[in-house]
Amino acid sequence: MGEPLKPLNIGIVGAGKISGAYLDTLEHLTSVRLTAVTDLDAGRARAVADRVRAHDGGEVAVAPSVAALVARDDVDAVLNLTIPAAHADVALTALAAGKHVYGEKPLAADRKEADAVLAAARAAGLRVGCAPDTVLGTGTQTARKAVDDGLIGRPVAATAFMTSAGHEKWHPDPEFYYRPGGGPLLDMGPYYLSALVHLLGPVTKVTGASSRPRTERTIGSGPRAGHTFPVEIDTHITGVLEHAGGALSTLIMSFDVRAARLPRIEVHGTEASLSVPDPNGFDGAVEIQRGDGWETLPVSAGYRAAGRGIGLADLADALHTGRPHRASAELAAHVLDTMFTLMDAADQGRTLPVAGTCERPAPVTDPPR
């Protein structure tokens, strides 16, 4: 394991609900230490600080603003858990102050903002990481090892399906899912596309089609149940993605499927087929079919017992060892570019090249500390 790591001091920007999932992971790691937090709601920031103090006695400063947090000497990296529209602004502010950044998905609201974040990081010599880090768990990584070890032969095709009837069935304020910047692809696509890149490599071109079967939706729960609101974006998106190695992935992202028995992800090769667990989770059974029925593969790769924030621990370890971190901004930018190109292809009714690319991240073999 080598010498103990000097903990990477973390400042959290955004203390909403997702911060709890990150704290569940980070408070059990020795490679990171939370030192400061800020939120538009000071009470939520204080609640995070109180939780850390109750867990291990650590003192966490409650900063009055993002600017105050990134100016602190005891913050090495910013964990950006703000709303998607603020992701790029917070990242650029942190980079300008000389801080590394790890953020929730998406990396930015559009390609231009993503490019600005990448350029600022390169100019400053700093690291930027981005969720999802679910693909670093044992589910996707065991499947990837099976592909890399040639257990399915040459990869030929993959399928990736995320279908639901719509978030208005359970969410009390679902309108933002049906406005520009929302929709099934931008909401859940990062999980599936990140997994496909890990499994098959970057995407080179896409063909797409999309539809908007309903122009209105009705909230089904909460105090606003029965309220109807307009649908401003397409809610069923189908795509064919060509990967750099030649494999073709068929993707369906939908808020218009009442029920389905579709698999989450399957990868098909010349010798066998692979069933991959839900990329929105870290683990799950990986099954292979080599002609005599499905068999479950033993866990062979990935971070064990992982949770949200393991990508930040991977970044901290990468800084210590000098290797590239796996949940990288380059991968997140490629996924964002692929999603927007797919939507463009659907609007234009033709195949389009994906302008950017990325390196396929290294497989996960060593646990973080």
pLDDT in the model for residue 292: 87
Question: Residue 359 domain-assigned?
Answer: no
Angle at the Cα of 193 from the Cα atoms of 192 and 197, rounded to 5 degrees: 120
* Distance from C-alpha of 116 to C-alpha of 124, rounded to nearest angstrom: 12
Which of 130, 164, 179 is a domain's end point?
130
Strand-strand pairing, 294-296 and 287-289: antiparallel
User: Are the C-beta atoms of residues 203 and 337 closer than 8 Å to each other?
Assistant: no
Contact 90, 82 (CB under 8 A): yes
Residue 35 and residue 11 in contact, taking contact as beta carbons nearer than 8 Å: yes
Last residue of a domain, one of 95, 114, 130: 130
pLDDT score, position 366:
64
Residues 342 and 205 occupy one common structural domain: yes
Alpha-carbon distance of 80 to 84, in angstroms, equals 10
Same domain for 197 and 144: yes
Are the C-beta atoms of 317 and 368 separated by less than 8 Å?
A: yes
- Tell me, yes or no, whether 309 lies in a domain: no
121 and 26 in one domain?
yes
Q: Which residues of the chain have pLDDT under 50?
A: 1-2, 369
Question: In this structure, are 120 and 142 located in the same domain?
Answer: no
Write the DSSP assignment of 305-351 as a string of letters.
Answer: T--TTHHHHHHHHHHHHTPPPSSBHHHHHHHHHHHHHHHHHHHHTSE
Phi first, then psi, for residue 346 (nearest 5°) are -65, -40
**Spatial distance between the Cα atoms of 198 and 210, rounded to a whole number of angstroms:** 25
CATH code for the domain in which residue 111 is found: 3.40.50.720
Nearest to 238 by CA among 105, 360, 353, 349: 349
Domain shared by 173 and 75, yes or no: no
Contact yes or no for 240/350 (Cβ under 8 A): no
Q: What angle separates helix 17-26 from helix 42-56, to the nearest 10 degrees?
A: 20
Q: Does residue 361 fall inside a structural domain?
A: no
* Pair 122, 49 in one domain: yes
What gap in Å lies between CA 76 and CA 96, rounded to an integer?
13
**Which uninterrupted H or E stretch holds 161?**
strand 155-163
Residues 255, 288, single domain; the answer is yes
Cα–Cα distance measured from residue 125 to residue 322, given in angstroms and rounded to the nearest whole number: 12
pLDDT value of position 56: 84
User: What's 277's domain CATH number?
Assistant: 3.30.360.10
366 found inside a domain: no
What pLDDT is attached to residue 318?
96
Distance CA 291, CA 313 (A): 39
Write out the residue range of the structural domain in which residue 177 sits: 135-302+331-353
Q: How many domains does the chain have?
A: 2
Within-domain flag for 99: yes
Q: Give residue 365's pLDDT.
A: 85
Residue 4 has what pLDDT?
A: 58
